[in-house]
Amino acid sequence: MPTDAHTSASRYGAPALIAFAESLLMSARMPRDRAHDVADILIEADLLGHDTHGLQLLPTYLQHIEAGHLQVEGEPLTLADHGAVLAWDGQRLPGPWLVLRALEIAAGRAKQYGSGTVTIARSHHIACLAAYLKRATDQGLVMLLLSSAPAGASVAPHGGTRAVFSPSPIAIGFPASDAPVLVDVSTSITTNMLTRRLLKEGKRLPQHWLIDETGTASNDPAVLQAPRKGTILPLGGLDAGHKGYGLALLVEALTAGLAGHGRADPLEPLGASVFLQILDPAAFGGAAAFRRQMDWVAQACLDNPPRPGFERVRLPGQNGLARRERQLREGVQLEPAILPALVPWSKKFNVALPAAT
Question: Nearest CA to 166 among 176, 175, 174, 157?
Answer: 157
Q: 3-10 long-range contacts, Cβ below 8 Å, gap at least 24?
A: 3/352, 3/353, 4/340, 4/343, 4/353, 6/339, 6/340, 6/353, 6/356, 7/336, 7/356, 8/335, 8/336, 9/333, 10/333, 10/334, 10/356, 10/357
Give the pLDDT band of residue 10 (cuts 50, 70, 90).
confident
| pLDDT reported for residue 203 | 95
Secondary-structure breakdown of the chain: helix, strand, coil percentages, each rounded to the nearest 5: 45, 15, 40
Closest alpha carbon to 323 in 87, 46, 109: 46
Q: Per-residue pLDDT for 211 more than 60?
A: yes
- What's the whole-number average pLDDT of the chain? 95
Beta strand 332-333 pairing with 11-12:
antiparallel
Question: Rounded to 5 degrees, what are φ and ψ at 187?
Answer: -85, 0
On whether the 11-189+233-289+318-349 domain is CATH 3.40.50.410, my answer is no
* Average pLDDT of the residues in 198-206: 94
Short-list 9, 56, 52, 58, CA closest to 38: 58
Residue 340 CA: distances (Å) to CA of 48, 58, 266, 346: 21, 12, 35, 10
Say what the pTM is. 0.94
Structural domain boundaries in the chain: 11-189+233-289+318-349
Query: Is the confidence at residue 84, as pLDDT, over 70?
Result: yes
What DSSP string describes 213-267? TTS-EE--GGGGSTT---EEPBTTHHHHHHHHHHHHHHHHIIIIIHHT-STTSPP
